[in-house]
Structure 1
Amino acid sequence: MSHARHWGRIAIAAVSTGILTASLWKGPAVNAQATSPQTPVPNSYAPVDDKESFQAVHDRMVAAKAAVQQRQLDLLNERYDLSDRPSSTVTMDRTKPVQTGVRVKLPAGVTWDALASQTPEQIREKGSFPKGFLPLPHAHHEEGGMVFPHAELQELLDKEQRDLTRFDLDFDIPERFLAEFPAATYLTTRPDLGDVSKGQLITINNYYELFSGILNPKQLEGLRLLVTPFPQQQFNQTTDRRSDKPSRGVACLDCHTNGGTNGAFHEVGDIRPQEFRHRIETPALRGVNIQRLFGSQRALKTVEDFTEFEQRAAYFDGDHVIAAKKGVNVLERGSQVHFMAEFEELLDFPPAPKLMWDGKLDPAKATKEELHGQDVFYGKGRCAECHSGQYFTDNSMHDLHAERFYTQHMENGMMMARDGAIKTFPLRGIKDTPPYLHDGRLLTLEDTVEYFNLVLGTKLTAQEKKDLVSYLQTL
């Protein structure tokens, strides 16, 4: 349901360095009287009328694509070690190994221990905050929009003959750092069945075969709506789209694959101007029945609110004018929204055989390292202050004030500004849903431990970090 955002037509021109510039709205006017006739007036709305033909827009953006892709690849290589280092012992839902090791690169001559010994002010003044800890820009931040990984594109094309390939942009993070595809599907009502998807991608063509006799009629209808494509900002029937052919649109489970995640990303629709919008990496829908906040920052109070919000607004960057043009699907609250939410609330976390009923490790099953990691989690690491209870969430929001460590600046069209308050995501099944944080800036659990060790100032030892990762892999 969390899908990409797009704010109007972009005029892109390649300059001699190969870097692209973009021109689009800049947000609400601050001092309209001070603007000259030649100064563009800041605007919250995207243009509705078509001033270019589809072919002209298509050809221009296709020509610019290589430079756009290279700019993002350069940023990723500057920030991360993207090599393939799979675990030999830990897998995700089925057989895909998790990627191991700290992938965020440190500045030359800096060590993690030395960095952790400095104050935020010292780190900011020296410019030594690791770039991989900064907000992660969209693959083309000025343009934005929903972007799907290759595996999802290929499977939908094969199974539904529906093409969600963008002509202007490809997915950026290597597949090895994404969740296993397709995700396994577990139901709170039938834990005895294990993965009810049977390793298949759930689509409009097979949902009935897979779930009839397992779900009641309302739940089955809710699932049908969740796999039904509806018009969206980049994928619709108008000429202002980013697919070669007119598109039926996207389905909720195109991002939340099988109720999990495939790593698809977009930009939030509720921030202006464009450079301040956050990249959002798709979270899993597993465990929404125990959650009380929805949306990384919106703090919607029910999954019904979120379902309706996505269809009415988020699919179209919160722009109701554009939504009307592109064919917004207005869901009926008392039946359709309720039915969709009823299925979503059945989605369970994956099995965790080493955990007891209270969420604590069973001493008879856990290793010494895992038990020590649990002690760190509840003690020195301060993790449980937010990630509490048997599902490891306090159902609240927290602002870590990571901007203490760096100065605000632009990178690849995105302002490296403060994140603000972000909801506490549950940690159950965390090893199965990389990458991490709301924007996917942390590729591995080791990266995540280093990030919070620095930002929270916990000064964990190397062994404590290692054992904490071992513990997180049991959840």
Structure 2
Amino acid sequence: MLNRRNVFSAALLTIVALLVTLPGALDAQAPMRSSYSPVVINEPFGDVMKRMKDAKPDVMKRQMDLLDERYDLSDRPADGVMMSGGKKAVQEGVRVKLPEGVTWEALAGMKPQEILEKGLWPAGFLPLPHPNHPEGGMVFPKFHIDEINKQEGRDLTRFDLDFDLPDHLLPEYPPPIYLTTRSDLGDVSQGKVVTIMNYFELFNGILNPKQLEGLRLLVTPFPQQQFNQTEDRRSELASRGVTCFDCHVNGHSNGSTHLVGDIRPQELRHRLDTPPLRGVNVQRLFGSQRALKTIEDFTEFEQRAAYFDGDPVIGTKKGLNILERGSQVHFMAEFQALLDFPPAPKLNIYGKLDPEKATESELRGEKVFFEKGQCSVCHPAPYYTDNLMHNLKAERFFKPVMVNGRLASADGPIKTFPLRGIKDSPPYMHDGRLLTLEDTVEFFNLIQGLKLTEQEKKDLVAFMRAL
């Protein structure tokens, strides 16, 4: 009997020993994948804030070093080319840096497999990480933080990180507002950032009561993942939250960034470049990949899910705002559907250039756009979107690589964004990886294998600036 016990004990010890040597088995330290954010925070808020404030200089240096490595961030305004509000010049030139000893012409002459094998895909064409990708969350440019603090006393500063791209590479601020219903008025914002403090005086008598109430909701702060009252916020003081127009300022964009909420794990989540709401009345898909079918769906989704990184569990804790679909969501959507593209005086009623108003370069660029460049396959006139999603398969050109917490790999299908008014909306691509229209032309020249000449590239940029 003793021998049997000894044999049994020995066998049991062997099994335990085998289990603990298996990867992650019985290891309390091994991280487990989860779709959920932690709800119960066991570290005091003061300790979290101090730890993240102390880490902030290194976090931002890592991101700024990456940007400097990838891009020419200098302020190089295009001569005589202004955004539609007339307050800010459009930036010019290719900003993505090439690998040493390589030219754009040489790259365009290579096949994707050759570029991949030689490791020559420009780093600026890889997905752009969030300023702190492992952490994520909404981050606002300082000019917007200052304006909202001035108007409302609501502070959108994060204690753990700052926005990363320079102001001159972002949209003009404040952007103009054009309404489909009152094109006779031009910019109805009167050069102001529309907030809860001034929306009524600016729009009373221009909008109907439903639209006015929809606008009120779009500028009303509601709790959000990083800006709320809980101990796992990223604002120093308890916050009333954010508004739809904190990112989509004046129904356009200020370049604010975030991470999409519909992908897991964290390293595969896309950085989000805030798209304009201009022209949503002609769009049939919303979200870069979500493909929500109506602006009502998008509006409701943003507050129920995107505000909380796609996690309604943590949203319940932080103050999930349930909008009433039949009135509030409808009213918000009705106002958004009034936001028009900026005027394009060189375009005719078909969205094509008027030969009597366009320059020779713009006309040549239009020909490239609709013919050799094949741009119109996805971006047909008059609004320059096909309302579909397309997979560019950029991963043909590079091997997956981890960059500042972002796994650069396949993006998958992405919505075709409208190109009307495109000069007003830098940076470009769904994650803002392309800083200028020139960068965008070089990117698609490689992706599509177009072999455009230098003159064709310049003409194509000239045409897009006229849209």
Q: Same fold (TM over 0.5)?
A: yes
Separation in 2, partners of 1:90, 1:282: 23
**Corresponding residue of 2:246:** 254
Task: List aligned pairs for 1:416-427, cutoff 5 A.
Answer: 416-427=408-419
Does structure 1 residue 37 correspond to structure 2 residue 29?
Answer: no
Match of 1:343 among 331, 335, 356: 335
Letter in 2 for 1:239: E
- Matched with 2:76 is 85
CA contact 1:392–1:427 (8 Å) conserved in 2: yes
In 2: Cα distance, 1:40 partner to 1:434 partner: 38
Q: Residue 204 of structure 1: which of 190, 196, 201 is its match? A: 196
1:108 equivalenced with 2:93 (yes/no): no
1:417-440 CA distances to partner (integer Å, 9 max, x unpaired)?
A: 111100000000000110000000
Superposition pairs of residues 70-469 of structure 1, within 5 angstroms = 70-93=61-84, 94-469=86-461
Alignment TM-score, normalising by the size of structure 2: 0.94
Distance 2:235 2:32 in 1: 30
The residue number in structure 2 matching 1:67 is 58
CA distance in 2, matches of 1:230, 1:353: 39
CA contact (8 A) 1:313 1:320 kept: yes
CA drift of 1:41 comes to 2.2
Distance 1:232 1:268 in 2: 14
Q: Is the 8 A contact 2:352 2:381 kept in 1?
A: no
Q: Distance in 2 between matches of 1:303 and 1:337?
A: 9
Stretches of 4+ aligned residues off by more than 2 angstroms: none
Show CA shifts across 1:160-202 (max 9, x none): 1100000000000000000000111000000010000011000
Which SS does the other structure have where 1:183 is aligned?
coil
Note the C-alpha offset of 1:95.
2.2
Deviation at 1:131, TM superposition (A): 0.4
Question: Which amino acid in structure 2 is aligned with residue 52 of structure 1?
Answer: E
Q: Does 1:50 align with 2:27?
A: no
2:6 corresponding residue in structure 1 = none
CA contact (8 A) 1:35 1:41 kept: no
Q: Which SS does the other structure have where 2:193 is aligned?
A: coil
- Structure 1 CA distance, aligned partners of 2:103 and 2:24? 48
Tell me the secondary structure at the aligned position of residue 80 of structure 2.
strand
Identify the structure with the greater helix proportion.
2
User: What is the alpha-carbon distance in structure 1 between the residues aligned to residue 445 and residue 311 of structure 2?
Assistant: 39
Q: Is the 8 A contact 1:184 1:197 kept in 2?
A: yes
State whether residues 167 and 243 of structure 1, in contact with CA within 8 Å, keep that contact through their aligned partners in structure 2: yes
Q: Distance in 2 between the 1:331 and 1:295 partners?
A: 19
Secondary structure in 2 matching 1:88:
strand
1:35-71 deviations in Å (ceiling 9; x for gaps): 4121232111111112011100000000000000000
Q: CA deviation at 1:320?
A: 1.2
Between the two proteins, what is the percent identity of the paired residues? 67
Contact 1:354 1:474 in 2 (8 A): yes
Q: CA RMSD in A?
A: 0.8
AA aligned to 1:365 is: K
Check conservation: 1:137, 1:278, Cα contact below 8 A.
Answer: yes
Task: Supply the distance in 2 between the matched residues of 1:357 and 1:423 (Cα, whole angstroms).
Answer: 25
Distance apart, 1:90 and its partner CA: 0.1
Question: Equivalents in 2 of 1:169, 1:91: separation in Å?
Answer: 31
Post-superposition offset of 1:88: 1.8
- AA aligned to 1:421 is P
- Give me the whole-angstrom Cα distance separating, in 2, the residues matched to 1:139 and 1:128: 24
Pairwise CA distance, 1:416: 0.5
The one-letter amino acid of 1:215's match is L
The runs of 5 or more residues in structure 2 that have no matched partner are 1-21
Task: Spell out, residue by residue over 1:120-175, the C-alpha distance to the aligned partner (whole angstroms, 9 max, x if none).
Answer: 00000000000000000000000000000011000000011100000000000000
Name the CA distance, whole Å, in 1 between partners of 2:321 and 2:175: 27
Letter in 2 for 1:36: A
Aligned-pair CA distance for 1:34: 6.4
Q: Say which SS state the counterpart of residue 473 (structure 1) adopts.
A: helix
3-state SS, counterpart of residue 364 of structure 1: coil
Contact residue 350 and residue 429 of structure 1 kept, 8 A: yes
| Aligned length, in residue pairs | 443
Q: Is the 8 A contact 2:346 2:466 kept in 1?
A: yes
| Partners of 1:364 and 1:318 in 2: CA distance | 50
- Summarize deviations over 1:326-351 as a string: whole Å, max 9, x none: 00000000000000000000000000
Query: Equivalents in 2 of 1:41, 1:248: separation in Å?
Result: 33
Give structure 1 stretches of 5+ with no counterpart: 1-32
* TM-score w.r.t. length of structure 1: 0.93
Distance in structure 1 (CA, Å) of the matches to 2:41 and 2:158: 19
CA–CA separation in structure 1 for the residues paired with 2:359 and 2:143: 35
CA distance in 1, matches of 2:281, 2:35: 35
- Report the Cα distance in structure 1 between the residues aligned to 2:428 and 2:125, rounded to whole angstroms: 11
